Amino acid sequence: MASGVQQGDAAPRPAFYNDPKIRGLFFQVLVLGLVIGGALYLIGNTLENRARLGVAAGFGFLGRLSGFDISQTLIPFSASTGSFGRAFIVGLLNTLYVGVVGIVLATIIGFVMGIARLSSNWLVNRVALVYVEVIRNLPLLLQLIFWYAVVLAALPAPRESIEFLGGALNIRGLFLPRPIFTEGIAVELGALVAAIVGVFFLARWARARFEQTGQPFHTFWVGLGILIGLPVVAHLLFGGPVEMEYPQLTAFRVQGGFVLLPEFLAIVLGLSVYTGAFIAEIVRAGILAVNKGQWEAAGALGLNRGQMLRLIIIPQALRVIIPPQTSQYLNLVKNSSLGVAIGYPDFFNVASTINNQTGQAVEVIAITMGVYLTFSLLISLFMNWYNARMALVER
């Protein structure tokens, strides 16, 4: 019986515009062309507007005098001698300062409240629950304004300062004794570095000993004694190379010492308390992710609750805690830009001032984006490395 289609005949080839490969390539080229065309249009329009306004392109403005002061500086800076480039560095250090202090405080608050959320004590559990639910559901900007305009604004005037341990607290900030380094400080710093290295190796030895024998070692107290004792011994043996400058109270202000401005205190407290609430939930979830049998096994070994958490539960929970906690660290550093609302001179605030004075919007925004991107990448790299270190290795 004859067939309508010969067995050796090939299937009809579709038209080129129906070919999926050609159609996909066409749309990719089209989208790429639109993106490049839009970018060229924006660049050309920007250059034309800048030329009309008399704004020169480039980063030459960084060497010009800034002409403005910055309220908090970790390095010397003045309006008469400081350049825009140095102002950028001052703002960067201020952001780094807030980020480091905020991350440390937020981590401590988060771990304490996260463990408190699992406490069998009803009062402790409820206090932690209220803290987490209230703080997480209020806007961060509102909390910053609350700390700055309500809490810190209620502090006493300088003549009525709250004095403690050689320091003072009033509406103008927290004043602390400031160390003045003299000759011989290198010996004391060397002793501190040696103490840190010694504690590191002590912790490794204690962990190896615990894995081999099952007997815990009081690493915290011994390590604390080394960290304090070794620098103190070096201080006593080599003539006390550090002198302290204490703040002096006057009728209207406090002179001397090291000051933490109200803006700094507000941004650090706001960011730490806010981020700590999220970390608390991450810690709680990480602890609950540990198998219940680990608690029972730790209890069978005769460990108390603190030893269970420190030696058994927390090390396993970190595998679950670290990845989402990294995101909270990133958010904390980026949220520090909200300090502009309370006048804290962080990098974003300084960059905004430089932009207003120079009109170099493109360059200033590019620098700002690069700085925050660098901060985020460095934090991510460190936390990924730490996460890899804490991961369980199969034997």
State how far the Cα of 136 lies from the Cα of 148, in Å rounded to an integer: 19
Asked if residue 346 lies in contact with residue 100, where contact means CB atoms within 8 angstroms, the answer is no
Q: What is the dihedral of CA 137, 142, 148, 150, to 10 degrees?
A: -80
| Number of residues assigned to the chain | 395
Domain spanning 84-174+262-390, CATH class: mainly alpha
- The region that residue 214 occupies, defined by phi over 0 for left and psi between -120 and 50 for alpha, beta otherwise, is left
Q: Is the pTM of this model over 0.85?
A: no
At residue 306, what is the residue type?
G
Q: What is the dihedral of CA 138, 141, 143, 144, to 10 degrees?
A: 170
pLDDT in tens for each of the 395 residues of the chain?
Answer: 445 545 555 566 666 667 778 878 888 999 999 999 998 888 778 777 777 766 677 778 888 888 888 888 888 888 888 899 999 999 999 999 999 999 999 999 999 999 999 888 999 999 999 999 999 999 999 999 999 999 988 888 888 888 887 788 888 888 888 777 666 677 777 888 888 888 888 888 887 887 787 777 777 788 888 888 888 887 777 766 567 777 777 766 777 778 888 999 999 999 999 999 999 999 999 989 888 888 888 888 777 877 788 778 888 888 889 999 999 999 999 999 999 999 899 999 999 999 888 878 888 999 999 999 999 999 999 999 988 887 765 44
CA distances from 149 to 72, 93, 99, 154, 342 (A): 19, 25, 22, 8, 9
- The region that residue 152 occupies, defined by phi over 0 for left and psi between -120 and 50 for alpha, beta otherwise, is alpha
Helix extents (H) in 247-304: 262-289, 292-300
